Structure 1
Amino acid sequence: MAHDHASHDHGPAGHSHGASHVHGSTDKKRVLIAACLTGGFMVAEALGGLLTGSLALLADAGHMLADSIALGLAWYAFHLAGRPATGRLTYGFARVKTLVAYTNGIAIFVIALWIVYEAWGRLMHPSPVLGGPMLAVAVAGLLVNIASFFVLHGGDRESLNMRGAILHVLGDLLGSAAAIAAALIILATGWTPIDPILSVLVSLLILSTAWSLMREAAHVLLEGVPASLDRDVIAKDIEGAVKGVREVHHMHVWSLDGTSNMATLHACLNDGVDPHIAVSAIKKRLATKHGIEHATVEPEFGQCADSHDEHDHHHDHDHAHGAPADRRHYH
């Protein structure tokens, strides 16, 4: 059967669009404030690192430089996401936030590797570090990073873009804490190798979180099934809960930006079933039971319109030879 355009739920977010818009507006302001705080102090910390000879301060300044750029990109991503869809970009710009989140994860990896490289050089060729000025700059940096962290922490933590921004600031916060610890140890003992050692430790701490962020963002970009959903379970639920639905196949479930879940599917209906009523019931079930607000449902009677596909040929062959029900194929 041809695609039922009436069954298409226009607008990726469904009725949740208003709530997501409010989140996006406040998150945009939070990210901009954090970007200004981070970028403003980055210059002072870089100068402090050069004057004191502290790699910990320079490393944290490097974090803050990349983070101020990343936060600026995150702000711009929120700005773009608020634009309406176009004829060429029918889902709008919401996925830009996921692209920025993925880019932020890569940036953290690059920064961490640079810090490790610099630390190795400092360990091989130790250089003097001025503990007193280093401590003063590190404490000021910690206060700025704490302020940025609390500004961002009140935002939508389900957003990959916001989580990427928080991760950057968290790395800065840990860097400042490490610089403070290194300065105190240098002042107490004069042992300067603690400076590069703690810098490497901070880098390793944030690498695992950066990898997690990149993996989740990549999963969204590849249109994988969201971790909170199971496509096969959803298909069987529709078959059992919606009256008149004989079978669900050709089902795809994905997320537009890590928060807005979407689905497309073919619904084989029993003879005599009103397709409009069935489609409405399926979409309601997807929204209320599984949190999928945007769905396109193609109702069918008899043979699937795409049964000429090789995969569907095997699907029909299995049923014709009495294959178990749990061997259904989902595309």
Structure 2
Amino acid sequence: MKVEGYEKPLWITLILTTSFMVAEVVGGIFTNSLALISDAAHMFTDSAALAISLAAIQIGKRAADSKRTFGYHRFEILAAAVNAILLFGVAIYILIEAYLRISNPPDIQSNVMLIVASLGLLVNLICMKILSGSKDDNLNMKGAYLEVWGDMLGSVGVIVGALLIRWTGWGWIDSVIAVGIGLWVLPRAWALLKQSTHILLEGTPEHLNIDEIKQALSSHWGVDSIHDLHVWSISSGKSSLSVHVVCQHREVDWTDLLQQIRTMLANRFDLHHTTIQLEATPCSDASGEHSYTGSP
């Protein structure tokens, strides 16, 4: 899916989420439900995350220039990191507020709480369906999907809490449900932050095995050794590779060898943005962890 294809589902999800967020805030204040307010706060981060994602797509469309030769694609990863930080903030707020309330729970209007949470669940399910088709193609979309997924579980929790409060009259259940929402959000936020940070630090893409790439390059016919091998991602789905390849055989056609290596990397590892420097002798600093000997 092209970047342009992500915009429509994000816009629809943003409109639905923001509209219902307002309804949840009003409902939470009216019912004195922390669980409902915490779910609304989570929905606020959803709206912010979706808005950031849309901004990232627009900025990412800008062409490369003399100052940013890779273009603005990495803004998507920055947006994902911001989304993760927002999730952390909301989860911590929920836990603190629940701690303050659990010993002195207010009266909860469980009927209204149940109605609002049920509508919220419906909105979440619609948004999840809209985003599900592209969540595995783009880190930004994955972040937005996780936000909505968290909201969906939050709505389920609020519904269960409303029913239990209605049947038992135990107001502290509301705070327990809020804590459960917060604890569910934290590991998801950490996973998203870890993944986006890995890309920002130009780590090896998770779907690629660097040892397999080393072996494939160093054992390729005509290759004596390789060094300065680097594999990283500019943004989701945009992996790049650079490597120095030493070929000391005069009978080898370098143009043909270069094309073979590029084709191999594209076919075996789906690496299409590659920079390969052929050398008759290794660079002076071609040693250590980035140097690998082949078997021509």
The answer as to whether partners of 1:235 and 1:249 remain within 8 angstroms in 2 is no
Partner of residue 329, structure 1 = 291
Match of 2:279 among 300, 319, 324: 300
The one of 216, 222, 235 equivalent to 1:244 is 222
On the 8 A contact 1:236/1:248 being kept in 2, the answer is no
Instruction: From 184, 188, 201, give the equivalent of 1:209.
Output: 188
**Could you tell me which residue of structure 1 aligns to residue 60 of structure 2?**
81
Instruction: Pick the aligned partner of 2:244 from 258, 262, 266.
Output: 266
Alpha-carbon distance between aligned partners in 2 of 1:293 and 1:328, rounded to the nearest angstrom: 21
Instruction: Give 1:274 shift.
Output: 2.4
Decide which of 171, 175, 179 is 1:192's aligned counterpart.
171
State the shift of 1:158 in Å. Answer: 2.9
C-alpha deviation, 1:230, in angstroms: 2.5
Q: How much identity, in percent, do the aligned residues show?
A: 37
**CA RMSD in angstroms, aligned pairs only:** 1.5
Instruction: Report deviation, 1:176.
Output: 1.2
Aligned residues: 291
Deviation, structure 1 residue 300: 0.3
The TM-score normalised by the length of structure 1 is 0.84
Q: What are the superposed Cα offsets for residues 46-87 of structure 1, whole Å, 9 maximum, x if unpaired?
A: 010001100011001101112101111011112222222222
Shift, 1:208, TM fit: 1.4
Which structure has more RCO (C-alpha within 8 Å, separation ≥ 6)? Answer: 1
3-state secondary structure, aligned to 1:23: coil
Check the 8 A contact 1:27/1:156 in 2, yes or no: no
Match of 2:110 among 131, 139, 153: 131
C-alpha separation in 1, matches of 2:249 and 2:156: 68
From 14, 23, 40, the equivalent of 1:44 is: 23
- CA 328–172 in structure 1, closer or farther in 2 if over 3 Å, else same: closer
Q: Is the 8 A contact 2:202 2:233 kept in 1?
A: yes
Distance 2:206 2:154 in 1: 32
Equivalent residue of 2:171, what SS?
Answer: coil
1:182 aligns with 2:144: no
CA–CA distance in structure 2, aligned partners of residues 41 and 52 of structure 1: 16
Task: Give the distance between the partners of 2:267 and 2:238, measured in 1 at CA.
Answer: 14
> Which amino acid in 1 is paired with 2:4?
S
Task: Give, in angstroms, the shift of residue 206 of structure 1.
Answer: 2.2
2:291 is paired with a residue whose SS is: coil
Looking at structure 1, the residues matched to 125 and 211 of structure 2 have their Cα atoms a distance apart, in angstroms, of 44
Preserved contact between residue 136 and residue 142 of structure 2 (Cα < 8 Å): yes
Helix, strand or coil at the partner of 1:270: coil
TM-score, normalization by structure 2: 0.94
| Unpaired segments ≥5 residues, structure 2 | none
Distance 1:23 1:278, change over 3 A: same
Instruction: Return the alpha-carbon distance in structure 2 between the equivalents of residues 289 and 301 of structure 1.
Output: 26
Residue aligned with 1:292, SS: coil
2 CA distance for matches of 1:156 and 1:274?
Answer: 43
**Counterpart residue number, 1:253:** 231
Of 225, 244, 254 in structure 1, the residue corresponding to residue 204 of structure 2 is: 225
Q: SS state of the match for residue 267, structure 1?
A: strand
Structure 1 residues 280 and 64: CA distance shift in structure 2, 3 A: same
Structure 1 gaps of 5+ residues are 1-21, 316-326
Partners in 1 of 2:256 and 2:273 — Cα distance?
A: 17
How far 1:217 moved relative to its partner? 0.9
